[in-house]
Amino acid sequence: MNAKDQLPECAHEREVLDLVLSDRWPDRCDAETLAHVAECEVCADVVAVALAMRDDQALQPIASAPVPDATLVWWRAQLRAHEDAGRKAARPIAMVQGIGIGIAGIAALSLGRTFWPWIREFGTGLSASAGSVMSATAAAAIAAPWLTLGVVVSVIAAPVAVYFALGRE
């Protein structure tokens, strides 16, 4: 660095800064310091920057921000951890409930389809003839593969659906 690139310095710079930071500028300082700041460019800049920084700091509401008690913060963290653990523990229970509801629904539909001819005959009060029993037996034989397929699908698809439904909470 050459002589032109060096920043100008003043011996009174630190004193002027202390006056501004301790709120003694300009009311509680001597006339000699006021005269020096009026003549010295470096000290005038120090006063301008220090006053701007002091005013900016006064505008920030850091001092008035309410800080909660450490006990309250700890209690809330424990409460949140307890609630998270409860949700995590309830996921498998909800999955099993979903599987059970899916299997029960598929089984009810399959059984209703299988026994519908007998239920219809019982409801209408018709007598069971050999032909109707044979048709009901044939319907049960046709429904058996669908029952097996329904149970397999419900065992595989229901847990996957419940997992995706509950996993996005």
- For 7, phi then psi, to 5°, come to -75, 145
Which has the closest alpha carbon to 154: 98, 93, 94? 98
pLDDT of 117 strictly over 80: no
**pLDDT, average across residues 72-78:** 94
pLDDT digits (tens, 9 = 90+) for 9-55: 788 888 888 888 887 777 777 888 888 888 888 888 888 888 888 77
User: Please, what is the average pLDDT of the chain?
Assistant: 75
- This prediction has a pTM of 0.34
**CA-CA distance, 162 to 169, in Å (whole number)?**
12
pLDDT-derived band of residue 94, with 50, 70 and 90 as boundaries?
A: confident
- DSSP category for residue 6: S
Which has the closest alpha carbon to 102: 153, 165, 158? 158
pLDDT digits (tens, 9 = 90+) for 152-169: 676 677 777 777 777 655
Extents of the domains making up the chain: 13-59, 70-166
Pick the more confident residue, 75 or 136: 75
